[in-house]
Amino acid sequence: MTETLPMAGATANVNLAGLSKNDYRGAPSTLCQGCGHNSISNQIVTALYEMNIVPENVVKFSGIGCSSKSPTYFLNRSFGFNSLHGRMPSIATGALFGDYRLKGVGVSGDGDSASIGMGQFKHIMRRNVNMVYIVENNGVYGLTKGQFSATAEKGLSLKKQGKNDYMPVDICMEALVSNATLVARSFAGNPKQVKELLKVALAHDGIAVLDIISPCVTFNNQVNAYHSYTWGKDHEEPLHEISYIAPRSEIMLENEMADGEVREVSMHDGSVVILKNLEKGYDPSNRYDALRVMEEAQDNNWMLTGLLYLDTSKPNLTSIYNLVDTPLNRLTEADLRPAPDAIDRVNALMF
């Protein structure tokens, strides 16, 4: 996944894969000015660039909605599939069987994942598909002009909609109880954390759910709304300071470790995640702790962000299937069609 190429020929303008940041960009965004989603797209570009991931090794997926439009706005060189409303998980599940070496990057929204696509959302968790599953969460339907989504907080008032009477769905809790192997929450107003979490998610070998509160500047950015920039800036409570350290960066790691209360998590590919400022002694490998801090955050009206849960021990979906080394989509007739004598065996098996 992470391509670490020789330094030869690398200049200041290219990464270790020999690519410039432009190689990671997409078409110009058609989303609103100031939309949180654009900020996330930028961080996706930066994270992949900094991790030296070749765009051809990434496949983009999305469902339907503002968030789902965004894969057009990053990684022009990657394959992409803008599927149906709520159905990104199934498309991604099947597509990633085509070449098990590819990493999925999916962008969905709160309507796409927590309403119409809740079933598929839950099931892709338990299958541990090897992809980053970003939910750009703004509590509102944008393309249909401002209806409540399932993540809108109770009591939220919106123009034309009145007051929301229902309890919200918590994406991270849903992911966790469905046995996701990486669960994190972030805030589009905190781009540094978004980028670091994206890197951890990209390095993770399995499903990585990033619930990113991403304000809708047009329909749901009132100062008192949970999914607004103002509320987020006032109520964000990071669980920790998070840094992603690429493989073979020992020196940097030692420097970081000198620093007070630190937890270090090793990733599948040899990279390391450093979590600092752990006042609560938080252990992201503990599901019970994860649920507890989320409950606490709800009780205290915090927007709790950070790496909530990580389990690097579970095999991803294609590993479970024990596939051949050659990607399935490069197999030929000789690999796939049983030999002519097999037909006699088959007929002999019949009565």
Partner 1 sequence: MNKVINDFSITVGTVNGSGSSTANNTILRAIFKMGIPVSGKNLFPSNIQGLPTWYTIRANKDGFIAHNERRDIVIAMNPNSFARDLASVTPGGAFFYADDIKQPITRTDVAVYPMPVKSIVRNDPNVPSDFRDHVANMVYVGVLAQMIDMDMDRIYAALDFHFKKKQKPIDMNFNVVKAGAEWAKSNLEKKDAFYLEPMNKTEGMIMADGNMAGALGSIFGGVQFVGWYPITPATSLAESLNDYLPQLRKREDGKHTYAVVQAEDELAALGMSIGAGWAGLRSMTSTSGPGLSLMTEFAGLAYYAEVPVVIWDVQRIGPSTGLPTRTSQGDLTFTHFIGHGDSQSVILLPGDVYECFEFGWKAFDVAERIQTPVFVLSDLDMGMNQWISKPFKYPDTPMDRGKVLVESDLEELKGNWGRYLDKDGDGIGFRTFPGNKHPLSSYFTRGTGHDEYAKYTEEADVYLNNMDRLKRKHETAKNYVPAPVLHEMKGATVGIIAYGSTEAAILEAQHQLDKEHGLKTDFLRIRALPFTKEVDAFLAKYDQIFIVEMNRDGQMAQILMTEYPQYAPNFKVVAYGDGMPASAKWVREGVLAKYESKKAKSGKQKAVKKVAVKKAAPAKKAVVKKPSGKKVTTKAVAGSKSKAKRK
From 189-197, 214-222, 223-231, 342-350, span contacting partner 1 (CB under 8 A)? 342-350
Size of the site for partner 1 (CB under 8 A): 60
Q: Which of 37, 87, 199, 204 binds partner 1 (CB under 8 A)?
A: 87
What is the dihedral angle through the alpha carbons of 40, 46, 49, 55, rounded to the nearest 10 degrees? Answer: 20
Question: Is residue 143 a contact residue for partner 1 (CB under 8 A)?
Answer: no
The residue from 16, 84, 217, 262 that contacts partner 1 (CB under 8 A) is 84
User: 3-state DSSP call for residue 177?
Assistant: helix
**Which residue lies nearer to partner 1 by CB, 252 or 331?**
331
Output phi, psi for 173, to 5 deg. -65, -45
Given the complex with partner 1, which of 79 and 302 has the nearer CB atom? 79
Minimum CB separation from partner 1 for residue 160, in Å?
A: 26
Rounded CA separation 321/317 (Å): 7
| Minimum gap (Å) between residue 326 Cβ and partner 1 | 9
Torsions phi, psi of 183, nearest 5?
-130, 125
To partner 1, the closest distance from the beta carbon of 6 in angstroms equals 18
Report, in Å, the least distance between residue 118 CB and partner 1: 11
Do residues 120 and 181 make contact, with C-beta atoms less than 8 angstroms apart?
Answer: no
Q: How far apart are CA 309 and CA 296, in angstroms?
A: 15
Site mask, partner 1, residues 93-112, x = CB under 8 A? Answer: xxxxxxx-xx----------
Residue selected from 81, 146, 263, 277 as contacting partner 1 according to rule CB under 8 A:
81
Maximum alpha-carbon separation in the chain: 74
Burial of 81 (0-12, 13-18, 19+ CB in 10 A): middle
Q: Per-residue contact track with partner 1, 20 to 59, x per CB under 8 A? A: ---x---x--------------------------xxx--x
Cβ of 271: how many Cβ atoms within 10 Å? 22
**Angle at which helices 118-127 and 88-95 pack, to 10 degrees?**
30
Q: What part of residues 280-299 is at the interface with partner 1 (CB under 8 A)?
A: none
If binding is defined by CB under 8 A, does position 89 make contact with partner 1? yes
Q: How far is the CB of 150 from partner 1 (least distance, A)?
A: 18
Sequence-distant (6+) residues with CB within 8 A of 234 are none
Question: What is the C-alpha R_g of the chain?
Answer: 21
Q: How many CB atoms lie within 10 A of CB 300?
A: 10
Record the tokens describing residue 82, joined without a space.
Answer: 């803008």
Please identify, using beta-carbon distances, which residue of 101 and 233 lies nearer to partner 1: 101
Residue that the structure tokens 């995640």 belong to: 273
Q: With binding defined as CB under 8 A, does residue 167 bind partner 1? A: no
Rule CB under 8 A: choose which of 40, 43, 53, 71 binds partner 1: 71
- Whether 199 and 47 have beta carbons less than 8 Å apart is answered as yes
Q: Which is nearer to partner 1, 258 or 350 (CB)?
A: 350
**Which residues of the shown chain bind partner 1 in the complex (CB under 8 A)?**
23, 27, 54-56, 59-60, 71-72, 76-84, 87, 89-99, 101-102, 119-120, 122-123, 127, 318, 321-325, 327-331, 333, 335-338, 340, 342-343, 346-347, 350-351
